[in-house]
Amino acid sequence: MEAERAEKTRMMTEDYSLFYGDFKALNNINIKIPTNKITAFIGPSGCGKSTLLRSFNRMNDLIPGVTTAGTIFLDGRNVAREDVVELRKKVGMVFQRPNPFPKSIFDNVAYGPRLHGTKNRSDLAVIVEKSLKRAALWEEVKDDLHKSGMSLSGGQQQRLCIARAIAIEPEVILMDEPASALDPVATLKIEELMNVLKRNYTIAIVTHNMQQAGRVSDYTAFMLTDEKRAGNLIELGPTKQIFTTPSDSRTEDYISGRFG
């Protein structure tokens, strides 16, 4: 039965709660992230979107005092029991602020593959080219691979970070407001890119931009804090449905409020 459910669901949480010390930031979240689709997380600031996203690749492990209840599954397997290195190889992440390493463009993309055992320079070159092409950055940087990744524009840096993430062929890519630091043109580029990427990857994205969620995502999850400020999942459904006929009035309030 578990396998059946996991068939088209790449990641899933089951009664998942997370505490920062005594503070409950996530309350009993049950959510499914479908394979090779884009799932958008929306909701007001502080409702726990980033916290939930960071739970999928266990980045919250780094924060002292974090405790959790419930389970998160990747392909039907409990991520808490996985080796965290293996997990993060399968579940990549792109951050809100582009964070290329102070290394060359080549070394940025090759960083992950090198970690995981690709040493041969020509193998690396193939991976770097393929990843940069998929991230729609190749044409802009192919002659400057030795240049520092930090010398690129913000939008290029973010695509470099996407290339870096896909260079290790993850199954899932988590994106936390990947375009919030970018101008509209760069944002559009990233959105186009996500539409291409979803053929091969499962994508979960946090965004404050309703139009963006409407444009790029297949599914939308709406989150809200309860009276104790703990984040709850209000509803999850096909994006079209959430935006037109949400089943919860709070979703409608939020979305229409945003649209003005």
Partner 1 sequence: MTSGTRRTGIEKAMKTVLLISALASVLIVLLIFIFTMKEATPAFREIGVWKMLSDTTWRPGNDQFGILAMIAGSGLVTLGAVLIGVPLALGTAVFLSEIAPCWIAGIVRPSIELLAGIPSVVYGLFGMVVLVPLVRTIPAPGNAGYGLLAASIVLAVMILPTIANISEFAIRSVPKGYKEGSLALGATKWETISRVIIPAAKPGIISAVVLGLGRALGETIAMIMVIGNSVILPTAITDNPLSIFLSRARTLTGNIAVEISYATGIHESALFATGVVLFILIMLVNGSARFLMKMGVKS
Contacting positions for partner 1 (CB under 8 A): 57, 59, 62, 85-89, 92-93, 95, 97, 99-103, 111-112, 115-116, 161, 164-165, 168
246 binds, among Mg ion, partner 1, ligand ATP, none (CB under 5 to 8 A by kind): none
| Closest distance of CB 126 from partner 1, Å | 18
| Closest distance of CB 71 from partner 1, Å | 21
63 binds, among partner 1, ligand ATP, Mg ion, none (CB under 5 to 8 A by kind): ligand ATP
101 binds, among partner 1, Mg ion, ligand ATP, none (CB under 5 to 8 A by kind): partner 1
- Are 134 and 163 within 8 A, CB to CB? yes
152 binds, among partner 1, Mg ion, ligand ATP, none (CB under 5 to 8 A by kind): none
If you ran DSSP here, which 8-state letter would residue 232 be given? Answer: E
For residue 249, the surrounding DSSP H or E stretch is: helix 249-259
User: According to the binding rule CB under 6 A, does residue 207 interact with ligand ATP?
Assistant: no
Q: Is 202 exposed, middle or buried (0-12, 13-18, 19+ CB in 10 A)?
A: buried
Closest C-alpha to 31, from 19, 23, 43? 43
CB-wise, 19 or 111, nearer to partner 1? Answer: 111
- Are 111 and 104 within 8 A, CB to CB? no
164 binds, among partner 1, ligand ATP, Mg ion, none (CB under 5 to 8 A by kind): partner 1
CB-wise, 51 or 131, nearer to ligand ATP? Answer: 51
* Subset of residues 33 to 92 that bind ligand ATP, contact rule: CB under 6 A: 45-51, 63
Q: Is 232 exposed, middle or buried (0-12, 13-18, 19+ CB in 10 A)?
A: middle
**Total residues binding ligand ATP (CB under 6 A):** 13
Residue 109 token pair: 């993309």
- Are 95 and 154 within 8 A, CB to CB? no
Please tell me the distance from the alpha carbon of residue 181 to that of residue 172, in angstroms, as a whole number.
22
Per-residue binding letters, 111-140, with ligand ATP (x by CB under 6 A)? ------------------------------
- Alpha-carbon separation of residue 39 from 111, 214, 258 (angstroms): 27, 11, 19
| Closest distance of CB 48 from ligand ATP, Å | 4
| Closest distance of CB 1 from partner 1, Å | 31
User: According to the binding rule CB under 6 A, does residue 228 interact with ligand ATP?
Assistant: no
How are beta strands 219-225 and 38-42 bridged, if at all?
parallel
- Are 213 and 40 within 8 A, CB to CB? yes
Judged by the rule CB under 6 A, the positions of this chain that interact with ligand ATP are 20, 23, 25, 45-51, 63, 229, 231
